[in-house]
Amino acid sequence: MIIENRFAGRKAVITGGAAGLGHGIAARIKAEGGTVEVWDINADALAALDMDTRQIDVTDADAVSAAMLEAAPDILVCSAGITGPNTTTWDYPVDEWLKVHDLNLNAVFYCNRAAAPVMRAKGWGRIINIASIAGKEGNPNAPAYSASKAGVIGLTKSLGKELATSGVTCNAIAPAAVRTAIFDQMTQEHIDFMQSKIPMGRFGTVDEIAGMACWLASDEASFTTGFCFDQSGGRATA
């Protein structure tokens, strides 16, 4: 349900916002009156969007710092990510491990690190990191993805406590699988495994995740920080 003008006067930066969950969240914030700047590395995907965009490699810490100062967002949603290959830990290529962690965890750190001082200076801010149920439970044959998302959850908890008296909150969302283009990076066997673990028997939707993200980005979530919210169709046990 769209809440009219909920984000009037607020500016959001959404990483990985040209597609998937990031795009859904960006569109929802814009529909609710916010100003949105989408960050993505895919120039063609950005060109197709009807909103402000910035082509950026979020694994470049210096580029992130400069862009964050220029954008000066009230809301940051870190959604950029990749799955990496599906294989056992002992067969996992080292270069792929590093690639997954660079985007899924290091880039989130760079963005959070750059946004926190900007938001602290305003006395208000919302940081929302997209984690995964895999970061809570660990998915077999997805060691890099699981470990990187566990790192996002730990970072969120740490930063949320550091910012607790500043007016800035930091929370994470841990979805189970949501059918987006990221499924193209997975084997069918892994997709089937993920669905089999969800008690509701279905994948989540982009709209469901966007709804949670928008609540966390709103004034209503002012007493919520350092927490990781389950959106797993009943899969999560903690």
DSSP secondary structure of 92-105: --HHHHHHHHIIII
Q: What is the pLDDT of residue 181?
A: 65
Q: What is the mean pLDDT of residues 34-50?
A: 96
Yes or no: say if 91 and 32 are a contact pair by the CB < 8 Å rule: no
Which pLDDT band, with edges at 50, 70 and 90, does 81 fall under?
very high
Residue 32, CA distances (Å) to 12, 75, 77, 176 in order: 12, 13, 16, 26
The one catalytic residue in 39, 97, 110, 145 is: 145
Residue 139 Rama label (left phi>0; alpha psi -120 to 50; beta): beta
For the chain, what is the mean pLDDT?
93
CA distance 210 to 75: 14
Respond yes or no: is residue 145 known to be catalytic: yes
Which pLDDT band, with edges at 50, 70 and 90, does 195 fall under?
confident
**pLDDT at residue 3 above 70?**
yes
What CATH number has the domain spanning 11-229? 3.40.50.720
**pLDDT at residue 233 above 80?**
no
DSSP letter at 140 equals: T
Which pLDDT band, with edges at 50, 70 and 90, does 203 fall under?
confident
Which pLDDT band, with edges at 50, 70 and 90, does 103 fall under?
very high
Count of alpha carbons within 13 angstroms of residue 160, beta-carbon side: 22
CA distance 169 to 216: 9
Strands (DSSP E) contained in the chain are: 11-15, 35-40, 52-55, 75-78, 125-130, 168-175, 228-231
Q: What is the pLDDT of residue 145?
A: 96
Nearest to 199 by CA among 232, 173, 238, 174: 232
Nearest to 194 by CA among 179, 210, 208: 179
pTM given for the model = 0.93
**pLDDT at residue 71 above 90?**
yes
Residue 205, CA distances (Å) to 15, 24, 58, 211, 212 in order: 19, 10, 25, 10, 11
**pLDDT at residue 204 above 90?**
no
Minimum mean pLDDT range among 92-106, 119-133, 164-178? 164-178
Q: What is the mean pLDDT of residues 64-78?
A: 98
Yes or no: say if 77 and 128 are a contact pair by the CB < 8 Å rule: yes
Q: What is the pLDDT of residue 92?
A: 98
Q: Which residues contact 82 (CB under 8 A, 6 or more apart)?
A: 99, 100, 103, 104, 145, 182, 185
CA distance 139 to 144: 10
